């Protein structure tokens, strides 16, 4: 009798979805029981006995897909974007009607990116200064990246909570833009360079020392370990989990 987790992928023809399907197949403890895309019937999930769905479709499709899954008691790991407070509230209501079912919604499945954010947040209150430099390929449309903005906000919140003084900065004459974007008091700099993919460096400075936390992402395959970890954990985590960090058990041992 197989004890493998029965996993389905929605959006299985997409770039990330097809890779996720392969990653599930390659995992010793999982079985890929369905790989659906846009025009496929969700009933196939029930027929295949799927326990967990990996949802990698589009903002316009995700709520309908999750409605189906939750009503059928199928857990879900969701990488599709477009989540607002309203949508999250809607999902919570849905889950309230299916007490044993779990859904993980994660804005980022790269474990390295999530650790970078959590470590920065944990370290922020010990340092006078904190800035973020994010570096991406030059085809990126937005600056700063969403991850860099979120990281700066987490740092700012941690500093505020600890009662840190504003960051020291004696700049009196500056070219426009030299000191970067101001995200709640934390400066964020966006480099765009051919030959890069997605990189982020958090610099923390105190008297006599600096701490640098850098994440380099060179391929979207870096999302797969986080997706698989999400699949394994969501079956034991009923209700809504928002953010992969909740599954990383980061209570740092002393």
- Please select the residue that binds its own copies; options are 131, 151, 159, 164, rule is CB under 8 A: 131
182 makes contact with its own copies (CB under 8 A): yes
187 makes contact with its own copies (CB under 8 A): yes
Site string for its own copies, 140-169 (x = CB under 8 A): xxxxx----x-----------------xxx
- Please select the residue that binds its own copies; options are 48, 181, 235, 240, rule is CB under 8 A: 181
Q: How far is the CB of 73 from its own copies (least distance, A)?
A: 26
Q: How many CA atoms lie within 13 A of 59 on its CB side?
A: 7
Residue 48 known to bind ligand: no
Q: How far is CA 84 from the centre of its chain?
A: 15
Phi-psi region of 90 (alpha: psi -120 to 50; beta: other; left: phi over 0): alpha
Residue 17 known to bind ligand: no
**Closest CB to its own copies among residues 88, 250:** 250
Distance (Å, rounded) from C-alpha 132 to C-alpha 23? 32
Token digits for 188?
Answer: 């964020």
- Please select the residue that binds its own copies; options are 133, 155, 156, 231, rule is CB under 8 A: 133
- Please select the residue that binds its own copies; options are 60, 86, 178, 236, rule is CB under 8 A: 178
Length, in residues, of the chain: 254
Contact 58, 80 (CB under 8 A): yes
Distance (Å, rounded) from C-alpha 34 to C-alpha 6? 9
Beta pairing class for 186-192 and 181-183: antiparallel
Residue for token pair 């309230």 = 96
Residues of this chain, 18-47, that bind its own copies according to CB under 8 A: none
**Catalytic site positions:** 136, 140
- Please select the residue that binds its own copies; options are 72, 87, 150, 220, rule is CB under 8 A: 220
86 makes contact with its own copies (CB under 8 A): no
- The 8-class DSSP code of residue 59 comes to H
């Amino acid at each position: 009798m197989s004890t493998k987790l029965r996993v389905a992928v929605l959006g299985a023809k997409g770039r990330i979805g097809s890779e996720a399907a392969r990653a599930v197949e390659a995992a010793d403890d999982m079985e890929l029981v369905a790989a659906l895309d846009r025009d496929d019937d969700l009933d196939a999930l029930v027929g295949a006995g799927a326990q967990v769905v990996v949802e990698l479709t589009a903002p316009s499709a995700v709520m309908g897909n999750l409605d189906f899954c939750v009503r059928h008691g199928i857990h879900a790991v969701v990488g599709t974007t477009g989540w607002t407070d309203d949508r999250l509230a809607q999902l919570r209501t849905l889950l309230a009607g299916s007490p044993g079912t779990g859904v993980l919604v994660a804005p980022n499945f790269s474990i390295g990116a999530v650790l970078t954010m959590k470590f920065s947040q944990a370290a922020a209150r010990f340092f006078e200064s904190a800035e973020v430099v994010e570096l991406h390929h030059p085809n990126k449309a937005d600056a700063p990246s969403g991850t860099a903005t979120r990281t700066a906000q987490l740092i700012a919140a941690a500093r505020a909570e600890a009662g840190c003084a504003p960051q020291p900065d004696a700049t009196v004459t500056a070219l426009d833009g030299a000191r970067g974007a101001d995200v709640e008091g934390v400066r964020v700099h966006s480099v765009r360079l051919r030959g890069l993919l997605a990189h982020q460096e958090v610099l923390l400075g105190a008297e006599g020392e600096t701490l640098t936390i850098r994440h380099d992402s060179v391929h979207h395959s870096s999302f797969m370990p986080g997706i698989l970890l999400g699949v394994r954990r969501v079956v034991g985590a009923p209700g809504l989990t928002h953010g992969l960090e909740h599954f990383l058990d980061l209570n740092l041992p002393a």
